[in-house]
Amino acid sequence: MDIGTFSALAEPNRLRIVELLAHGPLTVGEIAERLNLRQPQASKHLRVLLDARLVTVHADANRRNYALQMEPLQEMDAWLNNYRRMWNERFDNLDQYLQELQSKPEQ
Amino acid sequence: MDIGTFSALAEPNRLRIVELLAHGPLTVGEIAERLNLRQPQASKHLRVLLDARLVTVHADANRRNYALQMEPLQEMDAWLNNYRRMWNERFDNLDQYLQELQSKPEQ
DNA sequence: GAGGAATATTCTTGTCAAGGAATATTTAAA
DNA sequence: TTTAAATATTCCTTGACAAGAATATTCCTC
């Protein structure tokens, strides 16, 4: 698991940027406006997200379109696989417990 | 999505602690030993993980057993749900494209 | 080509987090 | 009851990072 992904997302504005871009690419100005950020801060946060490969840029003349990149999130997903097993186990245990309750409901 | 989870995991030693605890609870000393940390640093990192609710402690006389807590990871998992749709879409598109290639292989 | 829009970068400053060293606290053992 | 083990906490210093302000860069339009 690349820690850079966590670092990048561990900042409120950057997490909001990612969530914004989930609905489609946006320019710096649009992002700054919707998140009430000043343009330089938006650019700087996007730079961090870019370095973490969470977004890509496409220059369109004056504008720059930033788009979400899925790979780091897929890596997070894969990392979580190691733990899904566990909370499923726990759920299974609860499930098993409830079924045992079912089979002997009185006392 | 609680940003505290990302912050807590955005530190190499803490991520390794979490991965260690995936195999079962450990004491501070065991964690410090396996990760080549000094005891105070181990305690401090565990404190951060505790505040982020990523671990729980159980005092056993002198020792303290730290155990992994799944809830924050489940929350991450739920957050990722918003994005899984997208990378599946992309995969579907690729799949569709490949199938189109299949159906007209020669030009 | 001058001016303005969109964006990136630099510099500075304040805040926060991490490691090291030392110390406090609790508990077991002798 | 003194001693040692296991752990937590404090203080200090240092480095990273975020916001603000200013400035540079690129491109479009007139």
Cβ contact (<8 Å) for A10 and B10?
Answer: yes
CB of A84 within 8 Å of a chain B CB? The answer is yes
- Nearest CB neighbour to A6, from listed B10, B82, B86: B10
**CA B59/CA A33 separation, integer angstroms:** 50
User: How many CA atoms within 13 Å lie on the side-chain side of A51?
Assistant: 12
CA-based nearest residue to B11, from B37, B29, B30, B34: B37
Residue nearest to nucleotide D27 (CA to C1'): A62
Note whether A61 contacts B: Cβ–Cβ < 8 A: no
Q: Return d(Cα B90, Cα B81) in angstroms, integer.
A: 15
B88 or A4, which is more confident? A4
The yes-or-no verdict on residue B50 having pLDDT over 50 is yes
Q: For A64-104, what is each residue's pLDDT tens digit?
A: 999 999 999 999 999 999 999 888 876 666 666 666 666 65
Predicted local confidence at residue A95, as pLDDT: 64
pLDDT for residue A30 is more than 70: yes
- Does the beta carbon of A82 lie under 8 angstroms from any beta carbon of chain B? yes
Measured from Cα to the C1' atom, the residue closest to D18 is A41
Domains and CATH numbers, chain A: 3-70 (1.10.10.10)
Q: Is B26 exposed, middle or buried (0-12, 13-18, 19+ CB in 10 A)?
A: buried
Q: Do B74 and A68 touch (CB under 8 A)?
A: no
Report whether pLDDT(B14) > 90.
Answer: yes
Query: b vs e for A19-53, b when ≥16 Cβ sit within 10 Å of the residue's Cβ?
Result: ebbeeebbbbeebbeebebeeeebeebbebbeebe
More confident call, B87 vs B104: B87
Interface contact A6-B1, CB threshold 8 A: no
Calpha distance B26→A82 (Å, rounded): 18
CA distances to A54, A60, B72, B96 from A19, rounded to whole Å, are 11, 22, 18, 27
* Mean model confidence pLDDT for chain A: 90
**The 3-state secondary structure of chain B, one letter per residue:** CCHHHHHHHCCHHHHHHHHHHCCCCEEHHHHHHHCCCCHHHHHHHHHHHHHCCCEEEEEECCEEEEEECCHHHHHHHHHHHHHHHHHHHHHHHHHHHHHHHHHCCCC
